[in-house]
Amino acid sequence: MATIINGKEVAAKVREEVRQECVRLGEMGITPGLAVIIVGDDPASRVYVNNKKKACEEVGFISEEYALPAETTQEELLALIDRLNSKPDIDGILCQLPLPKHLDEKAVIHAIDPSKDVDAFHPSNVGKIMIGDYDFLPCTPAGVMELIHSAGIEVSGKNCVVIGRSNIVGKPMAMLLLHENATVTICHSRTRNLKEICAAADILVAAVGKPKFVTADMVKDGAVVLDVGINRDENGKLCGDVDFDAVAPKASFITPVPGGVGPMTIAMLMKNTLKAATLH
């Protein structure tokens, strides 16, 4: 039976480190500030934004929420970002995705000053990650790496398989594993022999967005399994991309959903905002 990696505990430790560092910055007259933009009333986004604001308060940051109506125009949103780019007490800007369909996410990501881009979504930051010379790491992949480190798992030389190729998780996840000298395979919807490739992984990261997609036959005995998914199962219960009950007996380490990768994303956002405050 796998050891369960407790993301809540690791995230609390990261947030505590950030809180202590925030006290130290405070003595130098610096208080990190995060602006969170939410457009429309997507209930999941509302929960995420509330959790981000709560985490800011807990670590001692200033947080400003900009809740805009669903019918906000592209021009209005870009004008707000422009204003926040030049607002001296704001170090980080986060625009919660997804945006309503009429808005251009790419243009919004481009508009955020890269030095305030605490999501690390701007092409300039994405490029820096690619060459391994970065200020910010994308929060979810960085959170997964932190969980791997917390469990004392060695990455170097391991076969790592990432299922999912999104710009937010899959691609940067693969890059961070590569930086630690893993042999990395990215699988996606067109991958042939998905089961065989996954079953050869020493470290398997699931970021597909499909409930219980990873079944026991896709996991090698003793593999480390990290589950980025947040889905609802057929009974409406929160579940990951991994069939936890079936996979846990085979794995050496596994992250649960909830309480695994999820809490890490916000903890790493706090780390990025702290970093941004030291850059300004």
Q: Which residues bind ligand GUN (CB under 6 A)?
A: 94-97, 119, 139-140, 265
What's the CA gap between 228 and 39, in Å, rounded?
24
Least Å from the CB of residue 230 to ligand GUN: 9
Handedness of CA 68, 69, 73, 74 (dihedral sign): positive
CB 5 within 8 A of CB 253: yes
Nearer of residues 112 and 155 to ligand GUN, judged by Cβ:
112
Least Å from the CB of residue 59 to ligand GUN: 17
Least Å from the CB of residue 272 to ligand GUN: 10
Nearer of residues 125 and 218 to ligand GUN, judged by Cβ:
125
Nearer of residues 125 and 140 to ligand GUN, judged by Cβ:
140
DSSP string, the chain: -PEEP-HHHHHHHHHHHHHHHHHHHHHTT---EEEEEEES--HHHHHHHHHHHHHHHHHT-EEEEEEE-TT--HHHHHHHHHHHHT-TT--EEEE-SSPPTTS-HHHHHHHS-GGG-TT--SHHHHHHHHTT--S---HHHHHHHHHHHHTT---TT-EEEEE---TTTHHHHHHHHHHTT-EEEEE-TT-TTHHHHHHT-SEEEE-S-STT-B-GGGS-TT-EEEE---EE-TTS-EE-SB-HHHHTTT-SEE--SSSSHHHHHHHHHHHHHHHHHHH-
Least Å from the CB of residue 265 to ligand GUN: 6
Least Å from the CB of residue 97 to ligand GUN: 4
What's the CA gap between 141 and 81, in Å, rounded?
25
Mind telling me the catalytic residues?
52, 96, 119
Nearer of residues 115 and 140 to ligand GUN, judged by Cβ:
140
Nearer of residues 125 and 265 to ligand GUN, judged by Cβ:
265
Nearer of residues 74 and 159 to ligand GUN, judged by Cβ:
74
What's the CA gap between 52 and 146, in Å, rounded?
19
Least Å from the CB of residue 139 to ligand GUN: 5
Residue nearest to ligand GUN (CB): 97
